[in-house]
Amino acid sequence: MLVSARHDGVENVMTAAWCCGLDFEPPKLTAVIDKSAHTRSLIERSGQFVVQLPTVEQLDLAQALGTQSMHDAPDKLINAGVRLFEVPGSPLPFVEGCSAWLKCQLVPEPHIQDAYDLFVGEVSAAWADDRVFRDGRWHFETADPKWRTIHHVAGGHYYAIGEAMSAG
Ligand SMILES: Cc1cc2nc3c(=O)[nH]c(=O)nc-3n(C[C@H](O)[C@H](O)[C@H](O)COP(=O)(O)O)c2cc1C
């Protein structure tokens, strides 16, 4: 996933593989955001963030956003070549070219944020590109393969999402 946030005119995007669904009603997710991440301070101070799903075409972007920190590379976003867009009515920065975007309100949980670097977000809005997600489900098997989501394993090694299977 790519996690973006903005506070006081400063915006940033980081890669975060450890994002997970948490609840349906209201929809919530978790993201592990290390104390060393500059993006973390933007989330803590603004109380908002976006979780977005990068595609195969964004492999190098995900790697770049996850291996440079704005703490020591102020031009990180320019170096990575990330393009941001705005959504009317939201102060958050969204990453162009992703397949889906989840706009989250931080549910403040100071203990788990501090002890486990775990952030809870309530999803207040969500969008997806209908070339790969429509009618309430993903269409990876018929969409252009460039739309496949990427999944980090370790050491800069990723998999694209694989074949479709139906249970029953
Ligand atoms: C594939 C990948 C997955 C990552 N997943 C996480 C994660 O789940 N949580 C985290 O805190 N950092 C994760 N990182 C590391 C951050 O993205 C990295 O520390 C980044 O430089 C933080 O940027 P910032 O300091 O500009 O916010 C990941 C990096 C990569 C390359």
Report the 10 Å Cβ neighbour count for 129: 16
Total structural domains within the chain: 1
CATH no. for residue 98? 2.30.110.10
Q: List pocket residues of ligand 1, CB cut-off 6 Å.
A: 12, 14-18, 32-34, 36-39, 63, 66-71, 76, 152
- 33: CA distance to ligand 1 center in Å? 7
- 117 in a domain, yes or no? yes
State the pLDDT confidence band at 4, using cuts at 50, 70 and 90.
Answer: very high
Mean pLDDT over 123-142 rounds to 97
| pLDDT, mean of residues 121-148 | 97
Please check whether residue 22 lies inside any domain of the structure: yes
Task: For residue 71, give the ligand 1 atom closest to its CA.
Answer: 25
List, for residues 11-63, the tens digit of each pLDDT value: 999 999 999 999 999 999 999 999 999 999 999 999 999 999 999 999 999 99
Could you give the CA distance from residue 90 to residue 105 in angstroms, rounded to a whole number?
A: 11
Is residue 59 domain-resident?
yes
100-107 and 2-7 strand pairing: unpaired
**Centroid of ligand 1 to alpha carbon of 15 (angstroms):** 5
Confidence (pLDDT) at 134: 97
CA distance linking residue 100 with residue 155, whole number of Å? 25
Residues 145 and 131 sit within 8 Å (Cβ to Cβ):
no
pTM of the model: 0.98
- Residue-wise pLDDT for 80-93, tens only, equals 999 999 999 999 99
Within a domain: 168: no
* Assigned domain for 165 exists: no
The DSSP call for residue 55 is B
Mean pLDDT for the stretch of residues 134-155: 96
Instruction: Specify burial of residue 81 (Cβ count, 10 A radius: 0-12, 13-18, 19+).
Output: exposed
State what percent of residues in the chain have pLDDT above 70.
Answer: 100
Domain span at 98: 2-160
